[in-house]
Amino acid sequence: MLKYIRPILLGALTATSAAVMTAATPGGGAVSLDSCRAMALRNNKMIAIAEETVKGAGLDRKAATAAYLPGIDFSATYIYNQRRINLLGEDAKLPTMSFNPGTGKFDWNILTDPQGNPILNPDGGGYIPTEVAVIPKDALSFDTHNVFAGAVTLTQPVFMGGTIKALNDIARYAESAAVAGRNAVVQEITYNVDEAYWLVVSLNAKKELAESFVQLVDTLRYNVQALYDEGMATRSDVLSVDVKLNEAKIMLTKVDNGLTLARMNLAQVCGLPTDTRLTLSDESLRTVGDHAPSYTWNVEDVFARRQDLEAMRQGVNVLKGREKLTLGTMLPKIGVFGSYQFSTPNLNNGFSKKVGGGFSVGAAVTIPIWHWGRDYNHYRAAQSATRAQQLLLEDMEEKVRLQLSQAKFKFQESFKTYDMTKANLGKAEENLDNARTAFREGVMTTNDVILAQTGWLQANSENIDAAIGIRLCEVYLSKVLGNLPH
């Protein structure tokens, strides 16, 4: 199904590519979080690697399925021989026999004396034949300088001890593990994009805060300088405000540099050139809710959604398939085969230089008997590996349970922190207003106003951190729950 869906998705992403790139340039419009995710998923090299892994696992599964089917092979051999084959070293002389009507049998044609007794060869070579049949040496000499042979063979496994089924199971589970691994990579990339996205939003808000603080301190400096010109403030007051103004400008510079680096990091995560300036749709830092949403879940459903756990579960299945594979090495194996063999020269009808051959069929049975425990120990080792992987999966599930509790606690705590920072911000703003009023009335000193401004800055900064913390905790909780898109 994936091979049919991917071209559709790629076509849709290509169609929106121009619009996204326009939004990624100054003046091109704001880019949403979903757009950043889409760019990252389209351009990330790790996802491309995972896709190739899935593709390779699918091809391995198809290769394993082919083991059920008969295999057809062609083989050919050519041999050059220096010498001819001579079955005789010289002309062969063979004794003959004649039919004896008196006895009704064949008698040897051998030399006899007048009394009819056979005469032995003086050299001790047996009897002396009176007639011989001659076989010339050349009649049994064959030209085998150039020999060519070939065969077309069909092999069909009948029972391989369950190894073919085990290989198919392993390939299928490995493909499922590759898909789960790819999905886990997608979720991790999505999480990284969200982190980089909200970091840009946070630093942009802090840059605006730093600019406001510079203006605030600069206004105070203007007022203190005016009072100093009128003799109502000291030189020390002016210097204190100047120092604070320089500190505010330095802070603005640092925040601006950090925002630039954060934008570069987001562009890199999205697969864009690092000098691309992404304007985000959430840079205004929308307010968050007053109360944390209620999250309830079934742990087993979470385990089913977690792609890292799914990859480990499929890994356990792969090792179980390996057990069956090693067990199959201890069982009998049966196969049938058929072949057509041909050669030149051939001996089908005497020695012939023409190409000749014939069909043959057969069956083969292999029964393992004794290998000094080699295969059995391999089987036990496979069982141990399966148990180890199963224990690792159980340990990971226990850690996921802990992650769920921690993520929920942090998410709820982030809302409490945000509520407290909002309360502190209100008090800091009221304190700053009171300090400025008292300063104008001559009740408070310059240092008191600077202290109130610093408190206002800290309260705003903490409020921004708390708001972003809610976003990040929500993303982390979605990751732990396995709800991030994959």
Of residues 116 and 425, more confidently modeled: 425
- The Cα 382–Cα 373 span in angstroms is 14
- The Cα 97–Cα 133 span in angstroms is 10
Q: Residues 32-60: pLDDT tens digits?
A: 999 999 999 999 899 999 999 999 999 99
Q: pTM for this structure?
A: 0.77
- The Cα 27–Cα 279 span in angstroms is 9
Closest CA relative to residue 224, chosen from 428, 453, 430, 447: 447
Q: Which helix (H) or strand (E) holds 77?
A: strand 71-80
> Given this model, what pLDDT does residue 131 score?
84
Over residues 302-306, the mean pLDDT reads 93
Residues 6+ apart with CB under 8 A from 161: 327, 328, 329, 330, 331, 332, 333
pLDDT of 347 over the 70 cut: yes
Min mean pLDDT across 4-8, 414-418, 428-432, 469-473 is at 4-8
Q: Is the dihedral of CA 169, 172, 175, 181 positive or negative?
A: negative
Percent of the chain with pLDDT over 90: 62
Number of helices and strands in the chain (H, E): 9, 10
pLDDT of 8 over the 70 cut: no
Of residues 284 and 190, more confidently modeled: 190
Percent of the chain with pLDDT over 70: 92
- The Cα 330–Cα 327 span in angstroms is 6
Average of per-residue pLDDT values in the chain: 87
Closest CA relative to residue 136, chosen from 88, 96, 97: 88
